[in-house]
């Protein structure tokens, strides 16, 4: 065996490392046939051994073509009679050809072919995984690929009788060059990933896959169901709050998954209404009534084997890349099929609804239905609530009833609802919720049970809420003053709760890294790109204001250069944003050049918002601007919600609005513009 210079030896091993990494990512991040992977790994090891010893392989060279033919036949048989999966059969054929190439002598042409196969395998793994660990393998693959190219160029030069020029380079210097090349390739890929619009093909394909987790609740609730879930520490969701009404704490919010209004034989069930699709325009789903949202939550929901969508408060709008969203009119929101991969969606919601007239009650008959054989519970309810006062006052008397004489316990709960109310008075959240709901109905106040999660663990590192199965909870919603109001009789357990989770500092940083991966890699979208550019523009404006305040002469040369570079980068990003927005609009409907200009009534509304200090920032939607403006004019909330629904259908819907609906949208736009710019405008 000829002794190679250290640098060339290092590059030689780098090329073999690239081939091995391609097999590793296939094994870890895909469902490729394990026996074929093991065969390829054995062929790689045997090939490295024979390459190092310069072993002649005349017999193997003769058998190469027949072995490839056998793998071709095996792949065809797998496609026709085995897995019947084209991708699986092609991967089997590729691994077979790769194994043969590993075993045979290799010229530079064979090396380039093996590197190309390794790249295809790496891309196949990248297209099918969202694991954070893949980033490490990507970095190592970039480093090894740089070394492989150096080794192949040296080999080509040797075969052609030219000097390679790399023999005198120390191995340490070669390692530094490869590391720099790997870092550069990794950063370049990250930049391209950030600036190229996300088409979200993988999410669409994953909709046809099976859910990988168990999150949430079934269509029924018994006295043991929710607490059984609480023993699980798995993460259900991670929630960010870009906008939260002052006074609200994320750890005190109820993340609702489902409501149950029918009570039969100790089991709570859904009301039975047929779920129907909600109105939508593109990725916007209009799920609520005429309420102006005062808060926003970005929910990353982990993979589940059920179709439930979780929301906060009184949701008005859900923005997410899925359709349709179904509702039964009772507060239950779900996808069309069971099981989903990781989902990220935005919920705009109102924490509370304004009081309305009792005449506007929209409860169903199930919300007041009282089970037979519970007359003693009805008598108890009437004694506690009394007949004097409003429904709100009577409901609060019932809640206070559970404040004394009852205890929260997991070891010795009551076996039935009647035993909980009259004798043992010991149980957990399902007992309190079921008891409170029946007592409210016995007093003539409509009620239903809600189930989901209460609070969670606040991650101060990433400023988001971690919701786990252990945060599962059941509470009550009751109809008071024309709105659904949350009531909870379960006593708070606080730090003494056996289900309380304490992650620790290291765990919070690890979870933050996972959350950032899910947000900026798995669920990265064009809206997030636009938001990032908008924040960059705002930062540049704030920086410019600060410099004007301090004066340019007081800034040193280094700071000036740093500011110039930051300004140049910001301007480049802004130009890139304009280019991307043009590309996005060019895909619009209505004309080859994209969306037509705003019609006169819409444009006038935008100008009036601008004149009244509600100027839109770059990337901000008309919906966001109008919602901010209407907060100062509560009387306009109904018109604003109606207008936004018509506006989205008109501008982004699959078909044009009927003439009468379009005229109504124009009238609402004019009315809102006049009201906002009227004498009382600020």
* pLDDT at 148 exceeding the cut of 60: yes
Round to whole Å and give the CA distance between 37 and 45.
Answer: 12
| DSSP SS3 for 624 | helix
In this structure, are residues 259 and 330 in contact, taking their beta carbons and an 8 Å threshold? yes
DSSP per residue over 351-369, as a string? SSPPP--GGG----GGGT-
| DSSP SS3 for 221 | strand
Least confident of 232-236, 325-329, 426-430, 587-591: 587-591
* pLDDT at 310 exceeding the cut of 90: yes
In this structure, are residues 581 and 648 in contact, taking their beta carbons and an 8 Å threshold? no
Query: Per residue in 631-670, pLDDT tens?
Result: 777 778 778 888 888 887 776 666 677 888 888 888 888 8
* pLDDT at 583 exceeding the cut of 60: no
Round to whole Å and give the CA distance between 1 and 589.
Answer: 67
DSSP per residue over 14-73, as a string? HHHHHHHHHHHHHHHHS---HHHHHHHHHHHHHHHHHHHHT---HHHHHHHHHHHHHHHH
Query: Per residue in 594-615, pLDDT tens?
Result: 344 567 777 777 777 766 656 5
- φ/ψ of 449, rounded to 5, equals -95, 135
* pLDDT at 149 exceeding the cut of 60: yes
337: Cβ contacts below 8 Å, ≥ 6 apart: 207, 307
With bands split at pLDDT 50, 70 and 90, how would you rate the model's confidence at 487? very high
Round to whole Å and give the CA distance between 552 and 60.
Answer: 75
Tokens of 671: 């009315």
In this structure, are residues 456 and 466 in contact, taking their beta carbons and an 8 Å threshold? yes
Segment 401-405 mean pLDDT: 89
DSSP assignment letter at 197: P
**Contacts of range 72-76, beta carbons closer than 8 Å, 24 or more positions apart:** 72/96
In the chain, the largest separation of any two C-alpha atoms, in whole Å, equals 105
pLDDT value of position 269 = 85
**Angle CA 449–214–315, to nearest 5:** 45
Round to whole Å and give the CA distance between 67 and 73.
Answer: 10
Give the CA count within 13 Å in the CB-facing half-sphere of 553.
0
Tokens of 311: 């929301």
DSSP per residue over 512-553, as a string? HHHHHHIIIIIT--HHHHHHHHHHHHHHHHHHHHHHHHH-GG
C-alpha distances (whole Å) from 516 to each of 132, 183, 251, 308, 523 are 10, 20, 21, 24, 10
**Which residues are bridge partners to 340 per DSSP?**
304
Residue of 149 and 555 predicted with greater confidence? 149
Segment 332-347 mean pLDDT: 85
Is the omega angle on the peptide bond into residue 324 within 30 degrees of 0, that is, cis? yes
- φ/ψ of 637, rounded to 5, equals -60, -45
Q: Which residues of 431-456 are buried (b: 16+ CB within 10 A; e: fewer)?
A: bbbbbbbbbbbbbebbbbbbbbbbbb
pLDDT value of position 8 = 76
Query: Per residue in 271-280, pLDDT tens?
Result: 778 888 988 8
Query: Based on C-alpha coordinates, what's the Rg of the chain?
Result: 32
* pLDDT at 427 exceeding the cut of 60: yes
* pLDDT at 1 exceeding the cut of 50: no
| Count of residues in the chain | 682
Round to whole Å and give the CA distance between 657 and 115.
Answer: 55
């Amino acid at each position: 065996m000829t002794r190679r210079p250290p640098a060339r030896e290092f590059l030689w091993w780098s090329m073999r490392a690239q081939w091995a990494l391609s097999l590793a990512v296939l094994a870890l991040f895909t469902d490729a046939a394990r026996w074929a992977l093991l065969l390829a790994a054995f062929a790689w090891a045997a090939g490295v051994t024979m390459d190092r010893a310069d072993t002649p392989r005349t017999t193997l060279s003769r058998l190469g073509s027949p072995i490839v033919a056998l793998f071709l036949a095996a792949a065809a048989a797998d496609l026709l009679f085995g897995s019947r999966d084209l991708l699986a059969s092609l991967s089997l054929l590729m691994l077979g050809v790769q194994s043969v190439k590993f075993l045979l002598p290799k010229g530079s042409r064979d090396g380039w072919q093996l590197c190309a196969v390794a790249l295809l395998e790496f891309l196949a793994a990248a297209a099918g995984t969202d694991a954070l660990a893949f980033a490490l393998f990507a970095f190592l693959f970039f480093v090894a690929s740089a070394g492989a190219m150096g080794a192949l160029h040296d080999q080509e030069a040797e075969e052609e009788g030219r000097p390679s020029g790399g023999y005198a380079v120390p191995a340490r210097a070669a390692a530094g060059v490869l590391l720099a090349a790997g870092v550069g390739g990794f950063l370049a890929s990250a930049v391209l990933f950030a600036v190229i619009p996300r088409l979200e093909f993988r999410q669409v394909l994953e909709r046809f896959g099976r859910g990988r987790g168990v999150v949430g609740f079934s269509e029924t609730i018994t006295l043991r169901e929710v607490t059984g879930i609480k023993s699980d520490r798995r993460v259900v969701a991670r929630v960010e709050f870009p906008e939260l009404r002052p006074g609200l704490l994320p750890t005190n919010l109820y993340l609702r998954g489902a409501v149950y209004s029918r009570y039969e034989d100790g089991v709570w069930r859904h009301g039975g209404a047929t779920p129907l699709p909600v109105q939508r325009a593109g990725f916007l789903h209009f799920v609520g009534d005429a309420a102006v949202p005062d808060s926003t939550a970005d929910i990353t929901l982990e993979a589940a084997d059920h179709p439930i969508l979780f929301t906060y408060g009184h949701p008005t709008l859900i923005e997410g890349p899925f359709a349709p969203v179904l509702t039964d009119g009772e507060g239950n929101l779900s996808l069309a099929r069971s099981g989903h991969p990781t989902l990220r969606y935005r919920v705009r919601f109102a924490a509370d609804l304004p009081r309305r007239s009792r005449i506007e009650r929209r409860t169903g008959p199930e919300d007041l239905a009282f089970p037979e054989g519970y007359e003693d519970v009805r008598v108890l309810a009437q004694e506690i609530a009394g007949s004097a006062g409003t429904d709100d006052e009577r409901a609060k008397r019932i809640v206070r009833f559970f404040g004394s004489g009852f205890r929260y316990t997991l070891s010795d709960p009551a076996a039935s609802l009647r035993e909980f109310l009259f004798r043992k008075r010991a149980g957990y959240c399902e007992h309190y919720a079921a008891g409170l709901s029946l007592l409210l109905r016995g007093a003539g106040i409509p009620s239903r049970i809600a189930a989901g999660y209460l609070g969670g663990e606040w991650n101060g590192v990433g400023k988001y809420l971690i919701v786990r199965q252990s945060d599962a909870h059941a509470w009550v919603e009751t109809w008071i003053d024309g709105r659904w109001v949350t009531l909870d009789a379960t006593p708070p357990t606080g730090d003494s709760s056996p289900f309380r989770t304490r992650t620790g500092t290291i765990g919070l940083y690890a979870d933050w890294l996972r959350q950032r991966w899910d947000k900026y890699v798995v669920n990265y979208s064009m809206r997030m790109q636009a938001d990032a550019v908008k924040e960059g523009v705002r930062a540049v404006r704030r920086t410019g204001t600060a410099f004007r305040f301090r004066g340019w002469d007081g800034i040193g040369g280094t700071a000036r250069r740093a500011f110039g570079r930051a300004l140049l980068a910001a301007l480049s990003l802004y130009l890139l944003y304009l280019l991307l927005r043009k590309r996005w609009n060019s895909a619009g409907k209505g004309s080859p050049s994209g969306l037509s200009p705003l019609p006169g009534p819409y444009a006038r509304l935008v100008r009036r918002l601008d004149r009244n200090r509600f100027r839109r920032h770059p990337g901000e939607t008309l919906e966001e601007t109008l919602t901010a403006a209407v907060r100062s004019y509560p009387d306009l909330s109904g018109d604003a919600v109606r207008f936004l629904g018509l506006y989205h259908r008109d501008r982004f819907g699959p078909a044009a609005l009927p003439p009468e609906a379009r005229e109504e949208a124009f009238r609402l736009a004019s009315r809102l513009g006049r009201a906002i710019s009227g004498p009382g405008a600020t």
